[in-house]
Structure formats: C-alpha cells, structure tokens
Chains A and B, each alone.
Chain A
Amino acid sequence: MRLPVALLPLMLATPVQGETPLRVTTDSSAYCGELAARVSNQPGARQEVVRNLAEEGQRLCDTGHVRTGIAKLRRALRAAQGMGG
C-alpha cells in the first residue's frame, strides 16, 4: 500500500525548520507525580470518579505507560475541577 505519496504533503506543507528536535518535559514520571499532587489538592479529589481516574493514571505511570497515565491524571484533574467548582 506504500505508494510514493510522500510527494504530495511535501509539496503542499510548509517546510519544517531545524534539525535538532524539541524535547517535551511533561512526558515524564516526575510530571505524573506533579499532576497527582495537583489532583489531590483539588476540592473534588475525594469524589469516586476523580479518585478512580487518578489512581488509574498513577498506576499506568508506575508501570511505564507514562503518556497514558498523564492523560488519565489530566482527566482526573478536569473532573475534580468540574466537581469542586
């Protein structure tokens, strides 16, 4: 299925600058801990939904699935803010 399709996007897209890629610091276990602390500081942190999401996120982070864990923790934070507000 690999057609020489790279030509089209290459022709139409703006050229990518630089050779050294940027690095993101929020895809780390440390950021997992930072987010978990934020969640626990929220007024709605005790709610079951929030707690479940936060625990699941923490577990994923601990088992090496950092980005998925961070996504769960962010959802927990949103849920906590929504309930606390």
Chain B
Amino acid sequence: MNDRRNTCGQAYGLTVMTPILEGHESALAHYLSTLGTGSASPLASVSGTHFARWVVIGDVVYEGGRQRPEHLRVGRLLFTSNFDGLPEPYLEELRTGLGEVADQVWTHCAGYPGCADADADAFAAYMRSHQIESSLFFAAYDERTVGDVQRSLVTRRRMIEFAVRAQELTPGELQAAFRETFAR
C-alpha cells in the first residue's frame, strides 16, 4: 500500500472494501439505514472525519457491449473516509469512536475480528488488508483539519453578524465592539 497516493496535504483518503457474508446484504443495508444522521451519526464520534460513507455493493454493473458478463462471488461493503492525519491513529479512532456500531456493521462481513480493546490490532489489520489504494486523491483544502474548518466557519458567521451590527456605530464604538467581540 502506497500511502502517499492516498494523501493530499494532510488529508487521507481511506477506501476499504470488505466481503459481505452470503445473504447478509439486506440486513446490513437495513441496519445502515437506521443510523442517525448529522451530529447523530456514529461517524460524528470519530474525530478527524471530514466525510465518510458506507455503500453496499451488491454486484458489479453490467454495461453490455464488450463487457463479459460476470458477478462478484459475494457482495462488498464499501467504506470510504476523508480524514485528517495518518491511517493508523485514525483506524484506532474509528474503532473506539464507532464502538458497538462497528461490530453491528462489519459483523456482516467475512473475517471481521471485532472491535474490543483486545482486538485493536486485529481491527486495524482487517481494515488495512481490505484497503484499496487510491490512484488519485483530491482534497480542496488539504492542509485544513476538521477543527480548522469548523472554527473558521464559526468565525466567518460571527464576522458577518458583527458587520451588520456595526453599521451604525461611531469609530470609537466600533473599535470597542471589535475588541470585545474578537479579543483573543
């Protein structure tokens, strides 16, 4: 695995595809559909995650033409994440942050070792052994972490509110309000 190809700035693109146990696709898809969204998503507990997804791949698509008809032996669960930093610390974050949810998801996949503390190394090894190397990975703000992005969005919102509020202030009042609002 060439981790440089999965990296853009400080951001890392993880692609993991695990074989789903025969007949478990629908149960897995159903479980994933019951997970909370937004801040209630279990992935919100995995720090450093910008974007992530689970996708149940039942089979390859048949395009016709010169494509030879073929099937995957078993379906695959695709997990992708765009996160800050290196894969090893992140996989540990993933294990501890998801906790029981990780078990509920990947227990539908062959060879999954579990996410208990005793299985920490096995969990990371399982993810790494099912990882697919990126050929090209692009991050629009590659040096900014999740924390940086969220903080600057809050700052921008405060600045917009301040600019509206400050329109009627005299220079003296403006300076005082600025110091009060943006004092470090």
A and B bind? no
Interface on B for A, CB 8 Å cutoff?
A: none
Interface on A for B, CB 8 Å cutoff?
A: none
